[in-house]
C-alpha cells in the first residue's frame, strides 16, 4: 500500500513540476532528491515549501548538511521506517564503509556530517530514537551489518560535539579557556545541568598498578522523563581532572594522504592508545545513573551500548593493554569535587584516594564525592 501511495505521490509531483512550477532549477533539484534516495514524500515536502515561497536553493543546500534542522525535517517527511532512515543516512548520504581494521570511514561527497553539532541539537535525540526503534530486540546492534555501522558511527557523533565545544565562545571569556570551562559556560548559557553520577572506571584505564583516577565523566542531559526523543545522559564528556581538557580518541587519530582516518593500530604508540581506551562514547540507550528511566527506554543502554558489535582493531588493542580498575570509586560526583581534588598535592593523592575507597567500603555509605569525604574526615580521613 505504501509503495503504491509513493508511486502516486511521485506522479503528482511530476505533474506539479510540469504545469505549476516555472523554475527549471526546482525540477532538477527534485530529480536529484530522488537520486539521493529521499523518495517522493520528501520530494512533495520540498515542492510544497517552494510553493509556499521558501528559497528552494537554500533548502537544497542545507540538506547536504547531515544533522541540520532542515535535514531532520526532510528525514521525518520521508515516512521511511527507522531502519530505512538509518540506511539512508549512513549508506546513501554519508557513504560509509568499514575498513580492513574494522573502523567506520565516511566517504560522503555531496552530503557531509555537520561540522559542529551543539549538544542540545535535536538531531542527536532523533538519531537515538531511530536506533531504539530500528533495533528493539535483544540482539541490538549485533543484528546486521547496518547495526555495526551504527555502533561505529557513535564516535563521529562524539567528534562533532567536541568540535562544537572547542569553538564555543562567549563575551568576557578568559584567554585560553579549558575544554571543561567551555563546557560549563555552554551549560550556563543554555540552562543545562551536567550529570556526574555515572561511574568513570571505564575511562580511567591503567597498565601495571592503578593509583587514582585521572579523569572524570560528565553527561548531558542530566535527566528526562520524555517518552519520545529522550535525551537523558546521551552525550559523554571525559575530562582530565587536572587540566580540564577533554580526553578523546579524536585527540589521537591522524589522517592518511587520501583524507581517511589512519586506523592501523601499528601506527600509534601505546601512550597514544591510552586516550583511545579512555575515550567518550555516545549512548544510544538511556543509562540508569541515579534516575528513573521511562518504561520504553528500560534496558536500551544494556542492549545498544554495553552489548556491542565488534570494535575496531585500534580500540581492541587499546583496551587490551589499558585495563579498567575494578576496586574503584569516583572522586568527582559534582562540579565542586573538581576543585577539591585539585587542591590535594599530587604526591598525596594516592594515599588520600586509597583511604577514600576504604572509607566507603568500611562505612557502607554512598559515594558523595571527594569534597564531602574530606569535609567528614577533616582532610585525610581514618
pLDDT tens by residue, 199-225: 999 999 999 999 999 999 999 998 888
**382 in a domain, yes or no?**
yes
* pTM exceeds 0.85, yes or no: yes
In the predicted model, is pLDDT for residue 381 greater than 70? no
In the predicted model, is pLDDT for residue 9 greater than 80? no
pLDDT classification of 158: cutoffs 50, 70, 90: very high
Say if residue 233 is exposed, middle or buried (CB neighbours under 10 Å; 0-12, 13-18, 19+): buried
Can you give the pLDDT at residue 382? 44
Whether 64 and 121 map to the same domain: the answer is: no
Whether 188 and 98 map to the same domain: the answer is: yes
Each residue of 45-70: pLDDT tens digit? 988 888 787 787 888 889 999 999 99
- Residue 364 CA to residue 51 CA, distance in Å, equals 67
Whether 111 and 204 map to the same domain: the answer is: yes
**86 in a domain, yes or no?**
no
Average pLDDT over residues 26-31: 85
**206 in a domain, yes or no?**
yes
Domain that holds residue 46: 1-79
**89 in a domain, yes or no?**
no
**87 in a domain, yes or no?**
no
Number of domains in the chain: 3
Whether 186 and 239 map to the same domain: the answer is: yes
For the chain, what percent of residues have pLDDT higher than 90? 80
Whether 140 and 274 map to the same domain: the answer is: yes
Can you give the pLDDT at residue 12? 74
Per the listing, cell 527534485 goes with: 30
Whether 72 and 113 map to the same domain: the answer is: no
Whether 164 and 290 map to the same domain: the answer is: yes
Domain boundary (38, 56, 79) is at: 79
Average pLDDT over residues 229-240: 96
Whether 70 and 143 map to the same domain: the answer is: no
The cell for 63 is 540538506
Each residue of 343-376: pLDDT tens digit? 999 999 999 999 999 999 999 999 999 999 999 9
**226 in a domain, yes or no?**
yes
What is the per-residue DSSP string for 18-76? HHT---HHHHHHHHHHHHTT-HHHHHHHHHHHHHTT--HHHHHHHTTEETSHHHHHHHH
Whether 30 and 57 map to the same domain: the answer is: yes
Can you give the pLDDT at residue 379? 63
**115 in a domain, yes or no?**
yes
**241 in a domain, yes or no?**
yes
46, 79 contact by CB (below 8 A): no
- Residue 178 CA to residue 196 CA, distance in Å, equals 18
Whether 235 and 304 map to the same domain: the answer is: yes
Whether 317 and 343 map to the same domain: the answer is: no
Whether 226 and 163 map to the same domain: the answer is: yes
For the chain, what percent of residues have pLDDT higher than 70? 96
In the predicted model, is pLDDT for residue 328 greater than 80? yes
Amino acid at each position: 500500500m505504501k509503495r503504491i501511495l509513493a508511486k502516486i505521490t511521485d506522479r503528482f509531483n511530476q505533474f506539479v513540476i510540469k504545469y505549476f512550477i516555472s523554475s527549471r532549477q526546482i525540477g532538477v533539484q527534485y530529480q536529484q532528491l530522488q537520486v539521493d534516495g529521499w523518495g517522493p514524500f520528501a520530494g512533495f515536502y520540498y515542492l510544497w515549501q517552494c510553493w509556499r515561497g521558501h528559497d528552494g536553493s537554500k533548502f537544497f543546500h542545507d540538506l547536504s548538511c547531515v544533522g541540520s534542522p532542515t535535514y531532520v525535517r526532510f528525514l521525518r517527511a520521508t515516512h521511511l521506517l527507522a531502519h530505512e532512515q538509518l540506511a539512508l543516512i549512513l549508506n546513501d548520504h554519508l557513504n560509509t564503509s568499514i575498513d580492513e581494521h574494522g573502523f567506520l570511514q565516511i566517504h560522503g561527497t555531496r552530503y557531509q556530517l555537520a561540522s559542529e553539532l551543539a549538544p542540545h541539537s535535536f538531531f542527536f535525540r532523533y538519531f537515538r530514537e531511530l536506533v531504539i526503534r530500528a533495533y528493539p530486540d535483544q540482539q541490538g546492534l549485533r543484528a546486521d551489518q547496518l547495526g555495526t555501522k551504527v555502533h561505529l558511527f557513535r564516535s563521529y557523533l562524539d567528534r562533532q560535539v567536541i568540535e562544537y565545544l572547542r569553538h564555543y565562545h562567549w563575551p568576557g571569556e578568559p584567554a585560553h579557556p579549558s575544554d571543561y570551562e567551555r563546557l560549563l559556560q555552554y551549560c550556563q548559557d543554555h540552562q543545562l545541568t551536567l550529570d556526574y553520577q555515572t561511574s568513570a572506571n571505564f575511562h580511567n584505564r591503567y597498565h601495571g598498578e592503578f593509583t587514582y583516577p585521572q579523569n572524570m565523566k560528565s553527561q548531558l542531559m542530566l535527566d528526562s522523563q520524555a517518552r519520545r526523543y529522550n535525551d537523558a545522559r546521551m552525550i559523554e564528556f571525559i575530562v582530565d581532572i587536572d587540566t580540564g581538557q577533554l580526553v578523546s580518541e579524536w585527540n589521537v587519530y591522524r589522517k592518511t594522504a587520501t583524507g581517511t582516518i589512519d586506523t592501523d593500530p601499528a601506527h600509534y604508540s601505546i601512550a597514544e592508545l591510552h586516550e583511545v581506551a579512555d575515550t567518550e562514547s555516545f549512548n544510544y540507550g538511556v543509562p540508569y545513573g541515579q534516575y528513573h528511566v521511562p518504561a520504553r527506554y528500560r534496558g536500551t543502554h544494556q542492549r545498544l551500548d554495553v552489548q556491542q558489535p565488534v570494535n575496531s582493531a585500534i580500540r581492541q588493542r587499546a583496551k587490551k593493554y589499558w585495563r579498567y580498575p575494578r576496586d574503584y570509586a569516583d572522586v568527582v560526583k559534582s562540579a565542586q569535587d573538581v576543585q577539591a581534588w585539585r587542591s590535594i598535592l599530587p604526591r598525596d593523592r594516592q594515599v588520600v584516594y586509597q583511604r577514600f575507597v576504604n572509607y566507603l567500603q568500611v562505612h557502607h555509605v554512598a559515594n558523595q564525592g571527594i569534597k564531602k569525604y574530606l569535609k567528614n574526615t577533616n582532610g585525610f580521613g581514618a
